[in-house]
Chain A
Amino acid sequence: MAARRRISMAELPAALAADRDAAFPHLVRALIDGVYSGALRLTGSRADAEDVAQEAFLRAYRALGTYEAARIRELRLREWVWAIAANLCRNRARSARRHPEEALPAEAPVPDTAPGPEAEAVAAVENQVLAEQLARLPWAQRSAVVLRHVTGLPYAEIAASLGRPVGTVKADVHRGLQQLSTLLEEAR
């Protein structure tokens, strides 16, 4: 029966090169939460975040079918998938600005710990406010801040994903956090 063993991120490029169909589900499961969460904060909509995640993995799957095994073994998978996803998010963000539609529904993300209902409600409101202000940052800052602090990517991977030098990304994150702080103060 199909292998149920977990494959680590480090083993994945070789596994994908050897058997794309067997290894691809492991790639999706390893990256889906990060891609979805990042896309959610970059597009501002759950439906868009799902679309972006689906489309990004679909494109990745098709691309893998056209690559030589040697090229697949060298892939830095997370930044490679994120390069596709970030591009899709940017296009969505652009067209959303032209055709503004639904705002993000005010449901709270599920917290890791389970605080009381009251604390949960407070956290939900705070998250909502934070997400709203985050959405007001210019793309360069927002993308860097989200990939760094929501998705948790290292700077080198963010740089590769967004196609910007590491120094620029660091500056974007720094300025983005400052700007966010100002916006949150104003929103109080």
Chain B
Amino acid sequence: MSDIPARLAALREAAPAHLVPEVLARTGLADHYALLASPLGPVFVAFTKRGVSLVDLADDPSRFQAAYRDRFGREVVPAEALPTRLEAAVDRALGAGRTRGVPVDLSGLSEFQAAVLHLAAEIPVGEVRPYGWVAREIGRPGSDRAVGNALAANPVPLVVPCHRVVRADGRFGRYSLGADANKRRLLEAEGLAVADYEALAARGVRYLGSDSTGIYCHPTCRHARQITQAHRVEFPSSAEAARAGYRPCRDCRPMAA
């Protein structure tokens, strides 16, 4: 029994993995996440005091926690539900696609990335806009590629609908939450007539105008959808629309020529 100290040392063991996050949650130094339903299935939604900070398809909780730690340097622990101040807004975003005004915490991102994401959140449900439009709207015309990168790195997909920003040629482009095909699935679920939109884009149509109002729109703008077949005019560019004497819609703000 002379080896008692060595045997005592063997009684030392690692604390359970949930202990550090729990301690930090009690001091307010860790964030929380909840499991919620979304059009793409269950998702983990993490949030800070400021708002939603990370969204991912619900898989292994420990993987989500590790990803959170890597990205933010903070622990994240499960919560039963979202705090009431967030609950209604997030439900609206995940359930009905109404993403405008959902509180998000983008504090780790660059000003450019945050501007792109805040603008994307304003695109109405079931509508799409080209990357170049986002670039121009945030005052950085020509930064299409950087806009694409910012959207690809969107930490809060669904809550910020990066799936509503697409390629100018009408193809949907890449999507980071699960497979690329999820982008199309989401837009379909939101009521976008995907096949019609693609057919239009394939024919080189970028804008639709109404010869009764003299206004032209993005093809998915709610005003464009109200134009009757008899009055509908197709334009390959805003320059063509302007030459024909049309002015851009004030809601969907097509790029000026």
Give the interface of A toward B (CB within 8 A).
1-4, 21, 24-25, 28-29, 32-37, 40-41, 46, 50, 53-54, 57-58, 61, 109-111, 123, 126-127, 130-131, 134, 145-146, 149-152, 177, 180-181, 184-185
CA A61 to CA B27, docked complex, whole Å: 7
The tally of CB-CB contacts under 8 A between chains A and B is 103
Q: Which residues of A contact B74 (CB under 8 A)?
A: 2, 25
Chain B residues with CB below 8 A from A61, complex form = 27
Interface residues on B, range: 20 to 34
CB distance from B106 to the nearest CB of A (A): 12
Complex: A145 Cα to B7 Cα, angstroms: 12
B257 close to A (CB within 8 Å): no
Evaluate contact between A50 and B19: CB separation under 8 angstroms: yes
Q: Contacts of A126 on B, CB cut-off 8 Å?
A: 7
With a CB–CB cut-off of 8 A, which chain B residues contact A145? 8
**B1 shortest CB reach to chain A, Å:** 5
Q: Which of chain B's residues has its CB closest to A21's CB? A: B29
* A to B CB contacts below 8 Å, 7 in the list: A32-B19, A35-B15, A40-B11, A126-B7, A130-B4, A134-B11, A149-B9
What 1/0 flags go to B83-94 for Cβ under 8 Å of A? 000000000000
Which of A57, A111, A130 is within 8 Å of B8, CB to CB?
A: A130
- A-contacting residues of B (Cβ < 8 Å)? 1, 4-5, 7-16, 19-20, 22-24, 26-27, 29, 70-75, 108
A40–B8 alpha-carbon span in the complex (Å): 12
- Given A53-B15, A53-B23, A2 contacting B5 (CB threshold 8 A): no
Task: Report B-chain residues with C-beta under 8 Å of the C-beta of A32.
Answer: 15, 19-20, 23
With A and B bound together, what is the CA distance between A46 and B18 in angstroms? 13
**Known pairs A2-B74, A24-B29; A33 contacts B4 (CB<8 A):** no
The 10 closest A-B pairs by CB, nearest first: A2-B73, A36-B15, A149-B8, A109-B13, A37-B12, A61-B27, A181-B1, A32-B15, A57-B23, A149-B5
A2, A35, A111, A126, most chain B CB atoms within 10 A? A2
Determine how close the nearest CB of chain A comes to the CB of B31; give it in whole angstroms: 11
Chain A residue nearest to B109 in the complex (CB): A1
Q: Do B14 and A2 touch (CB < 8 A)?
A: no
B19 touches A127 (CB 8 A): no
Chain A proximity of B16: nearest CB distance (Å)? 7
Nearest residue, chain A, Cβ from B22: A54
Structural contact, A41 and B29, CB atoms closer than 8 A = no
B20's partner among A29, A37, A130, A185 (CB-CB below 8 A) is A29
Q: Please, which residues of chain B bring their CB within 8 A of the CB of A3? A: 73
| B73→A4 contact, CB < 8 A | yes
B24 adjacent to A150 (CB under 8 Å):
no
With both chains docked as a complex, state the minimum distance between the C-beta of A53 and any C-beta of chain B, in angstroms.
Answer: 6
Cα of A181 to Cα of B9 in the assembled complex, Å:
15
